[in-house]
């Protein structure tokens, strides 16, 4: 029995295939979708693809036979009013095309095995008549600027801006160790996906990632840095920082785990010390717009305690 084919129309061009399948199969566990992609059960134009593959016009996605009659019943999970209130208070700006929010650390953008709903679910619940989509991603553990589109026209426009490296994102991070000078890091980043777990590494066959590190202040054993990126690879700053031997403080995937425990004990704060401070892009009218998101109190508390924290080499 052959599988079912889904044909991509203009509304979904440049959308990542994992995001597209989350949209089509809202009640299917995301871990299952990643598993099907990894095993080659889902193919595009008869070929294997990665979860990050960007869909093109008229692409044909092969869906395995057991999904043809899948009952795609949307979960009746109720969004707590308190979370909706927090979401609305996190909005920095919005217009007819997009919503810009200051995402809290540890709030996932998507629902998953460990969380019933993510920021995108809250936004869609709040604005049910709009076509809310993520314009880009930031990690669950990262706070700061996150852009949501309200229509497919702006979504396509923003993805085109991303593809042409015209979206500028500025981050702040606390790095372990004392950086000696500002630097530009250029490397190729490759994503490996197993089930719903992502592991990123620098690899010669990966995609180009460029980050500009600028020292804001140095401490006994840490560096408060500003990082400018025009490429948006998954875990880009976290991987490149770690490979510089300056991993981000409290990074539970690429960091120094024993040190993270020490910092959490001394400061009572375990959040990843990475914040998406600002984002700049052009709107549909061709106007350049720029937004900033203030850091939360925990990040500033970490900064205030760095003078009294020493890491033994």
User: pLDDT by residue (tens digit) across 2-17?
Assistant: 457 888 988 788 888 9
> pLDDT-based confidence at 196, cuts 50/70/90?
very low
**Structure-token match 């890091």, residue found:** 185
Q: What is the pLDDT of residue 147?
A: 97
Active-site option among 139, 182, 205, 300: 139
**Average confidence (pLDDT) over 8-36:** 84
Active site residue 182: no
**Average confidence (pLDDT) over 54-60:** 91
Q: What is the pLDDT of residue 70?
A: 64
Element (H, E) at 213: strand 207-218
Q: What is the pLDDT of residues 224-261, one digit of tens each?
A: 999 998 776 778 899 999 999 999 999 998 888 888 88
Tell me the angle at which helices 81-89 and 119-126 cross, rounded to the nearest 10 degrees. 90
What burial class does residue 184 get, using C-beta atoms within 10 Å of its C-beta: 0-12 exposed, 13-18 middle, 19+ buried? exposed
Between residues 236 and 102, the one the model is more confident about: 102
**Structure-token match 């930031």, residue found:** 138
Which residue segments constitute the domains of the chain, with CATH numbers given? 4-67 (3.10.290.10), 81-154 (3.30.2350.10), 166-308 (3.30.2350.10)
Q: What is the pLDDT of residue 193?
A: 47
Q: What is the pLDDT of residue 32?
A: 86
Q: What is the pLDDT of residue 88?
A: 96
Do residues 63 and 36 touch, judged by C-beta distance below 8 A? no
Q: What are the tokens at 163?
A: 């593809």
**Average confidence (pLDDT) over 178-191:** 87
> pLDDT-based confidence at 113, cuts 50/70/90?
low
Q: What is the pLDDT of residue 55?
A: 92
**Structure-token match 């960091």, residue found:** 255
pTM of the model: 0.76
Q: What are the tokens at 156?
A: 């396509």
> pLDDT-based confidence at 76, cuts 50/70/90?
low
**Structure-token match 């308190």, residue found:** 82
């Amino acid at each position: 029995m052959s599988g079912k084919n889904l044909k991509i129309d203009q509304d979904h061009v440049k959308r990542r295939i994992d995001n597209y399948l989350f949209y089509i199969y809202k009640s299917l566990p995301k871990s299952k979708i990643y598993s099907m992609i990894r095993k080659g059960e889902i193919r595009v134009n008869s070929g294997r693809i990665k979860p990050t593959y960007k869909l093109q016009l008229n692409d044909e996605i092969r869906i395995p036979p057991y999904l043809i009659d899948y009952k795609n019943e949307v979960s009746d999970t109720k969004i707590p009013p308190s979370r909706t209130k927090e979401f609305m208070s996190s909005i920095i700006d919005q217009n007819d095309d997009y919503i810009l929010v200051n995402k809290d650390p540890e709030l996932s953008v998507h629902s998953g095995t460990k969380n019933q709903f993510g920021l995108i679910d809250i936004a869609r619940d709040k604005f049910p008549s709009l076509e809310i989509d993520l314009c880009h991603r930031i990690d669950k553990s990262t706070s700061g600027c996150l852009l949501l589109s309200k229509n497919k026209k702006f979504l396509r426009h923003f993805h085109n801006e991303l593809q042409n490296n015209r979206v500028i994102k500025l981050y702040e991070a606390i790095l372990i160790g004392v950086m000696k000078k500002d630097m530009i890091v250029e490397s190729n980043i490759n994503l490996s996906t197993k089930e719903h777990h992502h592991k990123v590494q620098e690899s010669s066959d990966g995609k180009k990632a460029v980050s500009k590190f600028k020292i804001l202040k140095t401490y006994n054993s840490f560096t408060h840095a500003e990082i400018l990126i025009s490429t948006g690879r998954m875990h880009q700053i976290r991987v490149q920082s770690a490979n510089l031997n300056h991993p981000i403080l409290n990074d539970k995937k690429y960091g120094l785990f024993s040190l993270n425990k020490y910092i959490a004990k001394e400061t009572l704060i375990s959040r990843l010390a990475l914040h998406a401070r600002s984002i700049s892009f052009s709107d549909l009218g061709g106007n350049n717009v720029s937004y900033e998101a203030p850091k939360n109190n925990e990040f500033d508390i970490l900064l205030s305690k760095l003078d009294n924290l020493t890491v033994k080499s």
